[in-house]
């Protein structure tokens, strides 16, 4: 249900189940977790671009499959979420930036997944909706963590309880996506952004990500202490030394990602 290819320091992940609207089911979840493990241990990968075939980035949970599971659906869903949530925990903890390019729509578990990315490029006609309570169920996909943090509790409750649909422009205004581009430009813009990050000071970018997420969960002194430790480490590495020297010498830095 997805492909994985590394070029010039960027892992290009592509959801390929266009016919099934790239829905979240056990196979998709297992594949996503496997891709995350591959990215974690591939030292060539400095940044990640994730895009999707078809008209929809990810339509959310595979309700047809859940319907077919009948009375077994609670255990099927629970088992699937070990992989799905495990993939998202991995994505969040890996010190490499992850960029999503979203065309068409991200709904339910697809919206939840999108919210867990570090950066999101949206197509101008994309639509965003929680969709869970519309099917009589409650949120998953770590949306109670990430979506709520991006947009705030008041808006999170509105999206979840009313299933209102956000346009790309609204999603950008709310802080749910980072930038909006033409629908035909999404895949390239996503890849370009990941390439820009991979070509930059990759260790610093990846550890900046980590510091920001951990700082958000910390007390003020914990956040400051962690920042002190990590910036000092970054200054001792090649890219830190090179970046500081380039500034002092008024020239462009030559980052190697180290």
Does the pLDDT value for residue 162 go beyond 80? yes
pLDDT of residue 218: 97
The structure tokens listed for 224 are: 């400051």
Is residue 104 within 8 A of residue 59, CB to CB? The reply is: no
pLDDT digits (tens, 9 = 90+) for 136-161: 999 999 999 999 999 999 999 999 99
pLDDT digits (tens, 9 = 90+) for 53-105: 999 999 999 999 999 999 999 999 999 999 999 999 999 999 999 999 999 99
Q: The pTM is what?
A: 0.97
The structure tokens listed for 116 are: 């867990």
Q: How far is CA 63 from CA 102, 107, 108, 176, in A?
A: 21, 12, 11, 25
pLDDT of residue 257: 77
Q: Could you give the CA distance from residue 13 to residue 90 in angstroms, rounded to a whole number?
A: 15
How would residue 115 be classed by pLDDT, with cut points 50, 70 and 90?
very high
pLDDT of residue 258: 85
At 153 the three-state DSSP class reads helix
Q: Which of 46, 35, 13 is nearest to 239 (CA)?
A: 46
Q: Which of 206, 22, 1, 20 is nearest to 101 (CA)?
A: 22
Q: Could you give the CA distance from residue 164 to residue 127 in angstroms, rounded to a whole number?
A: 10
Q: How far is CA 86 from CA 34, 83, 93, 153, 182, in A?
A: 10, 5, 11, 24, 32
Q: Could you give the CA distance from residue 108 to residue 231 in angstroms, rounded to a whole number?
A: 37
């Amino acid at each position: 249900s997805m492909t994985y290819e590394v070029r010039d320091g960027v892992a290009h992940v592509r959801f390929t189940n266009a016919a099934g609207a790239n829905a979240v089911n056990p196979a998709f979840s297992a594949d996503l977790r496997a891709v995350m493990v591959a990215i974690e241990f591939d030292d060539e990968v400095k940044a990640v671009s994730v895009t999707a075939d078809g008209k929809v980035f990810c339509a959310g949970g595979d309700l047809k499959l859940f319907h077919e599971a009948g009375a077994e659906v609670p255990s099927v869903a629970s088992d699937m979420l070990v992989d799905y949530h495990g993939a998202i925990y991995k994505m969040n903890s890996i010190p490499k930036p992850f960029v999503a390019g979203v065309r068409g729509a991200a709904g339910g578990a697809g919206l939840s997944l999108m919210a867990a990315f570090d950066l999101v490029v949206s197509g101008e006609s994309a639509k965003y909706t929680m969709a869970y309570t519309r099917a009589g169920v409650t949120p998953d996909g770590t949306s109670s963590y990430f979506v709520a943090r991006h947009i705030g509790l008041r808006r999170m409750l509105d999206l979840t309880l009313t299933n209102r649909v956000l346009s790309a422009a609204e999603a950008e205004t709310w802080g749910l996506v980072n930038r909006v581009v033409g629908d035909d430009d999404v895949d390239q813009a996503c890849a370009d952004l990941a390439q820009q990050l991979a070509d930059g000071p990759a260790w610093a970018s990846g550890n900046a990500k980590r510091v920001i997420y951990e700082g958000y969960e910390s007390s003020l002194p914990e956040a400051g202490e962690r920042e002190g430790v990590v910036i000092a480490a970054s200054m001792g590495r090649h890219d830190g030394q090179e970046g500081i020297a380039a500034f002092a010498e008024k020239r462009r830095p030559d980052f190697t990602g180290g």
